[in-house]
């Protein structure tokens, strides 16, 4: 079964291996999560589990979500996420999933929201070259031509232009699990992951 957990990013640090080499790592707090819904092949056309993360008050979620939790006899949870699995064996509604499901040395994919950079220009967003900075130049950081004139007489969709940068769902694949702390629900992975410290992340084993 492909294990998935919701959690948050604690931050980055570095550790040393037995040879004295520095390894950049990210510390994640994953779970514990609760199975809030089970989807079957017969009823839904595919097999999956829905998990919830972080307790919340019923007044902070809408009526549909409250009805969903009451139907499953589960306390209200702030975040929900669905993971497809190969087998529903030993899967029970309301069961807890924690970091014990992961193993040191395995590869995981971590998904999160990248840091938002606001409205940015061509150089920062698309790494365009700037114009000459010499006296008389009037094109230092301007876009320049964005298309032909009469033909086609328009700007093609997808043209690289200034706009909002960052703040998008991003997945970093094949991160190695360096260490696991079951008491504090911590997972240490090699490398960096998207987002700021405290951001919601989804971690899934390969």
What are the structure tokens assigned to 130, written together? Answer: 């700037």
DSSP 71: H
In contact, 87 and 54? CB cutoff 8 Å? no
Same domain, 79 and 149: no
State pLDDT tens for residues 80-92. Answer: 998 888 888 888 8
Same domain, 25 and 58: yes
Same domain, 128 and 35: no
Same domain, 56 and 110: yes
Same domain, 44 and 133: no
What is residue 199's predicted lDDT score, i.e. its pLDDT? Answer: 92
The contacts of residue 28 (CB under 8 Å, 6+ apart) are 7, 8, 9, 10, 110, 186, 187, 188, 189, 193, 201, 203
* CATH number for the domain harbouring residue 98: 2.40.30.10
Same domain, 62 and 156: no
What is residue 200's predicted lDDT score, i.e. its pLDDT? Answer: 92
What are the structure tokens assigned to 17, written together? Answer: 């291996």
Total tally of structural domains belonging to the chain: 2
What is residue 2's predicted lDDT score, i.e. its pLDDT? Answer: 67
Same domain, 54 and 153: no
What is residue 71's predicted lDDT score, i.e. its pLDDT? Answer: 87
Same domain, 89 and 146: no
Same domain, 178 and 78: yes
Between CA 22 and CA 16 the distance in angstroms is 5
Same domain, 90 and 149: no
pTM for the structure as a whole: 0.79
- CA 205 to each of CA 80, 92, 177, 188: distance values in angstroms, whole numbers, following the listed order: 18, 20, 10, 14
Same domain, 157 and 183: no
* Residue 116 φ/ψ, nearest 5 degrees: -75, 135
Residue 139 belongs to domain spanning: 118-165
Residue keyed to tokens 């694949």: 173
What is residue 40's predicted lDDT score, i.e. its pLDDT? Answer: 86
- CA 81 to each of CA 33, 36, 105, 111, 175: distance values in angstroms, whole numbers, following the listed order: 10, 10, 25, 12, 21
**Bridge partners (DSSP) listed for residue 9:** 28
In contact, 195 and 113? CB cutoff 8 Å? yes
Residues of the chain with pLDDT under 70: 1-2
Same domain, 17 and 86: yes
């Amino acid at each position: 079964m492909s294990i998935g957990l919701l959690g948050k990013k604690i931050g980055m640090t570095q550790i040393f291996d037995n040879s004295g080499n520095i390894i950049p790592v990210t510390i994640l707090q994953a779970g514990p999560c609760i199975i809030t819904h089970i989807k079957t092949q017969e009823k839904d056309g595919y097999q999956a589990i829905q998990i919830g993360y972080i307790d919340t008050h019923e007044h902070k979620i809408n009526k549909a979500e409250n009805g969903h939790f009451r139907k499953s006899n589960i306390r209200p949870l702030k975040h929900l996420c669905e993971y497809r699995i190969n087998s529903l064996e030993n899967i029970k509604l309301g069961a807890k999933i924690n970091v014990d499901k992961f193993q040191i040395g395995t590869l995981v994919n971590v998904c999160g929201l990248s840091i938002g950079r606001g409205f940015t220009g061509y150089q920062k967003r698309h790494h365009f070259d700037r114009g000459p900075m010499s006296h008389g130049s009037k094109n230092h950081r301007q876009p320049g031509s964005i298309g032909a004139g009469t033909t086609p007489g328009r700007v093609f969709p997808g043209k690289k232009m200034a706009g909002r940068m960052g703040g998008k769902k991003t997945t970093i694949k094949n991160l190695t699990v360096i260490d696991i702390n079951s008491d504090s629900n911590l997972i240490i992975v090699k490398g960096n992951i998207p987002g700021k410290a405290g951001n919601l992340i989804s971690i899934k084993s390969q």
